[in-house]
Structure 1
């Protein structure tokens, strides 16, 4: 904050601005993520390098991935993988792999190309889930496929972040270094599984004995932040550590007890992460790598449509439902922001512009998915109801 504005006043005004934008996003039906990033861009000169904002955002993103991890105990991860893995791997190839090759073709180095691929990889879970609910499409045939893809991406994205963090150290990233990185990830994951099956096996009973809600919040945040911090200590991403911390507690019987305790803190702190990201996007020098930006935007849309068209039938969907599903998964958002946090300089600006543009394009395609599908396959024929009286 500026020296003449007390930090407490600045923090209060920022929270009021976040509240207003969150309220506005509901009214205009626009994802709050986009508005928070734009707020950060507008206030960049005031909030630049603000440690309090950065720390609040770090806690917010740790809690986001902690809550995501709660949804995936080891058995559920295995069950999802059996059905979705062919389509999930196709998604990795199209959205991450091919985008990475495009970036290499434009002359970027390996790290920058992987970063661009990572940013273009994951569909925004928050935007997609909200639109599915708002447009009453939860019962559609393609929705289960879409949610399974989102879950698969939720698992892969933290690993991508961990690899990028390992590569960003500046040292030469050899095959040996990659092997050590995978070893660290495996060790951290194994530790989470062992702790989940032993120490946290009866955690639900212990949690029930804590009557004070404040102490529960402190305990659960302590677990999430500690495991996220352990990941950082090992040279990995705090996002991966937080996800694994959630997976540890997913072994308890009723995860809603944990979720209800942590949700308020996540909702309070998560917007500050997106605001902080916005402050790091400097638009003063125009649009960097405009050709690459347009190419990646076009391909990232085509990649998700192809994922639906090819991956949907692999999952058991009709061609119509597959196309509609692909058109509905083009938004990028919170995961792209997390991955873009590793970027610097022109790549950071590139990432910010891409994320905002991809979110808007994805929302438009979601709204038009049914109409575009009908243009390709024709309007669905309504089945006539048989009103004959049985035996008549």
Structure 2
């Protein structure tokens, strides 16, 4: 049993397994994220309660969103917020609202339908961000829109979780004051990040320039990311939201690549452990409960995200081609769905677990094929022709 082995030995085996799976993914040209999740599912009985793995995975996902936050200064985030709110509400209505109606149509109670709607709502921020990086699509036209949708979902998902926990604790009742309290915490955390970014961290670049010892620099930057992520957890919010806001605070400084280069190696080492831990958290159970509902949810979850891309992307100012590619790339479900599924019990939990695994697989496959599908529908993009005008001498015109 792995649980009886020394933690250090288990950690070494995990890292060796991650290396091997990463190597295999390159050889067979298959997303490494899927292999890491499968690795976790296979080892769920041995590692589901491993505290070392859980801690490393938390640090990995925090650093991923810390680095993402570095790309968004306050001014850029404000411009995105103005453009994405309508697309975000469309996403909430299609992905969560319609999924709730489908579940109610299959005879689920309101609480169960609300829970299933929550599971079907949020795109996996970690899987999507990792695939954007792996497929070298971070600089694509649609990436800003996709990240804006993910940020919107990261703000809404903790509220959904709070409502679900309140409904469960209250036997189906939830006070409006509880929802207001959650919203106040989100606003407070964002406000704190803005305040720190405009004051203390305004001169952070000067401080970094004075640090010659790289070890101290790592401790400082990773410490900031983890502390703000932990503060979000302390407030009952998402550590992903806290980590993103920590990166946003530092986005105001110049030469941001110095911060990225310092944190990137640590993130690259620890991030695969998150996907492995994600796999261990999924209990598939036995049998396939409500297969028709599962199939309906999977089909609609893909249609909903494609519509968010096609319609919301156009609202955001993207072309039809780019909007479709964005929608096809937003279909994977992941970490928030797992958190929400943990509120469920019995057959609903098994249904949610199977849905998450299937949606993650389908979403990653669609992400991989999104450019090809887009080219199939709209044709390959034609390179812009340069209008070369050759001057003609006056005497040659006659």
Same fold (TM over 0.5): yes
Distance of aligned partners of 1:289 and 1:195 in 2 relative to their CA distance in 1, 3 Å threshold = farther
The correspondence of residues 65-214 of structure 1 with structure 2, limited to 5 A, is 65-108=65-108, 113-124=113-124, 143-144=140-141, 146-167=142-163, 168=165, 170-172=168-170, 173-214=174-215
Name the structure 1 match of 2:233. Answer: 232
1:196 positional shift:
1.0
SS at 2:202 equivalent: coil
Structure 2 distance, partners of 1:96, 1:348, is 17
Structure 2 distance, partners of 1:199, 1:386, is 50
SS at 1:211 equivalent: coil
Structure 2 distance, partners of 1:370, 1:237, is 32
1:190 positional shift:
0.8
1:195 positional shift:
0.9
Aligned residues: CA RMSD: 3.4
The correspondence of residues 188-337 of structure 1 with structure 2, limited to 5 A, is 188-333=189-334, 336=337
Distance of aligned partners of 1:150 and 1:21 in 2 relative to their CA distance in 1, 3 Å threshold = same
Write the deviation string for residues 347-391 of structure 1: whole angstroms up to 9, x where unpaired.
Answer: 554444334423433344455556655665678899999999776
1:324 positional shift:
4.5
* 1:69/1:246 contact within 8 Å kept: yes
Structure 2 distance, partners of 1:229, 1:383, is 48
Q: Could you tell which deviates more after superposition, 102-111 or 90-99?
A: 102-111
Structure 1 distance, partners of 2:219, 2:20, is 28
Distance of aligned partners of 1:250 and 1:388 in 2 relative to their CA distance in 1, 3 Å threshold = closer
* 1:118/1:160 contact within 8 Å kept: no
Distance of aligned partners of 1:385 and 1:241 in 2 relative to their CA distance in 1, 3 Å threshold = closer
1:300 positional shift:
1.4
* 1:87/1:311 contact within 8 Å kept: yes
Number of aligned residue pairs:
388
Name the structure 2 match of 1:54. Answer: 54
Question: Which structure 2 residue ranges, 5 or more long, are not aligned?
Answer: none
Write the deviation string for residues 163-219 of structure 1: whole angstroms up to 9, x where unpaired.
Answer: 244333653332110001101111111111111111111011111111111111111
* 2:123/2:153 contact within 8 Å kept: no
TM-score (norm 1): 0.84
SS at 1:49 equivalent: coil
